[in-house]
């Protein structure tokens, strides 16, 4: 199975098995539906593209809110 992808504007992304050949931002290109390309899509380096260039679809963005608790500030005062 293949998916159509295009590089994010201004980027060139190497092909999975041909590191000296690139996917660019000028035309969509079919690539294998592999973990390598899914990682590149998740990183925002590649965008999913439909069959026609006018109907490009971007992957959904992840929420930027953090669930981590804020760290306590370190004490900088010297004990007397």
Q: Which two tokens stand for residue 38?
A: 């899914």
Contact 23, 7 (CB under 8 A): yes
The 10s digit of each residue's pLDDT in 55-65 is 444 545 555 55
**Cα separation of 18 and 25, whole Å?**
18
Contact 6, 25 (CB under 8 A): yes
**Cα separation of 24 and 5, whole Å?**
9
Per-residue pLDDT of the chain (80 residues; tens, 9 = 90+): 899 999 999 999 999 999 999 999 999 999 999 999 999 999 999 999 975 444 444 545 555 555 666 666 666 666 66
Residue keyed to tokens 């260039």: 53
The full set of domain ranges for the chain reads: 12-50
């Amino acid at each position: 199975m293949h998916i159509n992808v295009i590089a994010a504007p201004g980027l060139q992304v190497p092909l999975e098995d041909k590191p000296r050949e690139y996917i660019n931002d000028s035309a969509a290109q079919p690539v294998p539906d592999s973990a390598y390309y899914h990682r590149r899509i998740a990183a925002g380096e590649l965008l999913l593209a439909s069959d026609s260039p006018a109907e490009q679809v971007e992957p959904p963005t992840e929420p930027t809110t953090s669930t981590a608790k804020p760290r306590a500030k370190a004490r900088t005062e010297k004990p007397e």
